[in-house]
Structure 1
């Protein structure tokens, strides 16, 4: 199972994040401590995640999905629980 970084900007006024957030949570174990950025453990490819989440955003919105499974990790300033999740779940 790989760790994917999901980031988005919903650019249209009055956006409803609820469906998008539920779709992200349904992908697998998740971490969300930054406004529009998530880390998710998933067996899906980046393309499959993009396609699944793309149904929940408008044409003027932006969505980024990146596989960050490899040893490219560093962070600072997160709560103890946020850091704990990263340490225990990233690998």
Structure 2
């Protein structure tokens, strides 16, 4: 069963490794970039497993939040992101 995860992060100075973090997120499964530091991922990983996976690519002073969501509602997102989430949303 797929999990609907939202992954949010803040990379703090020094050592902001955006490419490394986004590649770790994308490796979890089907994904869409919702905002600059917020991703939606449809994955078989639990929120804890996903957080541990992404955290390995981050520095100790960075911030990470992974949320497993059953329902979501949004307004004014780019059409491609909105459509992608609708197509991949699983309960």
What TM-score, normalized to structure 2?
0.89
Superposition misfits of 4+ residues, deviation over 6 angstroms: none
What TM-score, normalized to structure 1?
0.89
Gaps of 5+ in 1: none
User: In the alignment, which residue of structure 1 is the partner of 2:82?
Assistant: 83
* C-alpha RMSD of matched pairs (Å): 1.2
How many residues in Structure 1 have an aligned counterpart in Structure 2? 89
Aligned partners of 2:3 and 2:44 also within 8 Å: yes
Q: Does 1:55 align with 2:56?
A: yes
> What's the offset of the Cα at 1:33?
2.6
Gaps of 5+ in 2: none
